[in-house]
Amino acid sequence: MIDKFLDTIDACKGYIARYNELKELTEAPEIIAHNDYWRKLVREEERLSYIVDSANKLSTMVEEVKELELSKSSKLDSETKAFIESELTELYARADSEEKTLLTLLKEKEAELGTSVITLAPSGKGASITNVMLTAYKNYLSKNGYDFIEEITESKGVIKRAMLSVDGANALSFEHGTHRVKGGEVRVTVVNKQRAKSANFSEKDVRIDVFHSSGAGGQNVNKVETAIRITHLPTGIVVTCQDERSQLKNKNRALDTLKKRLEELCDSEVEKAYKKAQKDGEKSAKVVIRDYDLENKIIISADGKVSVTYKDFLEGNLEEFEKTEFLKKITNNS
- What is residue 296's predicted lDDT score, i.e. its pLDDT? 93
Question: In percent, how much of the chain has pLDDT > 90?
Answer: 36
Fold held by 115-196+280-333: Alpha-Beta Plaits (3.30.70)
How much is the pLDDT for 47? 82
Global pTM value: 0.55
E strands within the chain? 115-124, 148-155, 158-167, 177-181, 184-193, 206-211, 227-232, 237-241, 288-293, 298-301, 307-309
Rounded to the nearest 10°, the torsion over CA 186, 190, 300, 155 is -20
Question: Which residues are registered as beta bridge partners of 181?
Answer: 184, 292
- Spatial separation of the C-alpha atoms in residues 78 and 304, rounded to whole Å: 69
Between 205 and 109, residue with greater pLDDT:
205
Per-residue pLDDT, averaged over 101-108, amounts to 82
3-state secondary structure of 226: coil
Q: Are 169 and 219 in contact (CB under 8 A)?
A: no
3-class SS at 11?
Answer: coil
Cα(189)–Cα(283) distance, rounded to whole angstroms?
Answer: 9
pLDDT in tens, 279-302: 887 788 899 999 999 999 999 999
Q: Give the β-pairing of 206-211 and 288-293.
A: unpaired
Q: Is the pLDDT of residue 217 over 50?
A: no
User: Within 10 A of 134 (CB to CB), how many other CB atoms are there?
Assistant: 19
* Of the listed ranges 135-139, 224-228, 315-319, the one predicted with least confidence: 224-228
The domain 203-269: what is its CATH number? Answer: 3.30.160.20
Q: How confident is the model at residue 254 (pLDDT cuts 50, 70, 90)?
A: confident
Q: How far apart are CA 234 and CA 68, in angstroms?
A: 37
% of the chain beyond a pLDDT of 70: 90
Question: 200: buried, middle or exposed (CB in 10 Å: 19+, 13-18, 0-12)?
Answer: exposed
Kindly report the average pLDDT of the chain as a whole number. 85
Please report, as a single letter, which amino acid is at residue 34.
H
pLDDT reported for residue 301: 93
- Band (218; pLDDT cuts 50, 70, 90): very low
Mean pLDDT for the stretch of residues 100-115: 77
pLDDT number for residue 329: 61
> Please, which pLDDT band fits residue 199 given cuts at 50, 70 and 90?
low
When pLDDT is averaged across residues 257-267 and rounded to a whole number, the result is: 81
Using DSSP's 3-state secondary structure scheme, residue 168 falls into: strand
Q: What is the pLDDT of residues 16-67, one digit of tens each?
A: 999 999 999 999 888 888 887 888 788 888 889 999 999 999 999 999 999 8
pLDDT given for residue 149 in this prediction? 92
2-112, CATH topology level: Methane Monooxygenase Hydroxylase; Chain G, domain 1 (1.20.58)
Q: What is the pLDDT of residues 171-193, one digit of tens each?
A: 898 999 999 999 999 999 998 87
- Find the helix or strand (DSSP H, E) in which 21 lies: helix 13-26
Phi first, then psi, for residue 124 (nearest 5°) are 60, -135
Same fold, 115-196+280-333 and 203-269: no
Asked whether the predicted pLDDT for residue 241 surpasses 50, the reply is yes
Domain residue ranges in the chain: 2-112, 115-196+280-333, 203-269
Length reported for the chain: 334
Taking residues 311-328, report their average pLDDT: 85
Is residue 334 scored above 50 in pLDDT? no
